[in-house]
Amino acid sequence: MSLEAVVARLRAAVPDRGRALVAVDGVGASGKTTLAARLAQCLGPRPVIVLHADDFFHPSAVRHARGRDSRRS
């Protein structure tokens, strides 16, 4: 599905003053951050907040130092 098709479905599903939570999941380096930024840009002028789950676990220096073990606590 194209980005334009996803945006069209989101706009159709959420009323003009409504709210929606859109989650993007995938393996590391798969483009989640890029996709989230593009969706936010395309959904304007509606207010959009992008949250990165990694920011809630460990700082990037810790995640990168741990490599594949970064998913383990």
68 or 1, higher pLDDT: 1
For the stretch 16-68, pLDDT in tens is 888 889 999 888 788 899 999 999 999 888 888 998 876 666 676 776 776 66
Place of tokens 């929606």: 20
For the stretch 2-16, pLDDT in tens is 999 999 998 899 888
By the 8 A CB rule, do 31 and 43 touch? no
Q: What is the pLDDT of residue 5?
A: 95
Considering the entire predicted model, what is its pTM? 0.65
Q: What is the DSSP string of the chain?
A: --HHHHHHHHHHHS-TT---------STTSSHHHHHHHHHHHHTTS------GGGGT--HHHHHHHGGGGG--
The phi and psi torsions of 72 (rounded to 5 degrees) equal -90, 145
Q: What is the pLDDT of residue 58?
A: 65
Report the domain count for the chain: 1
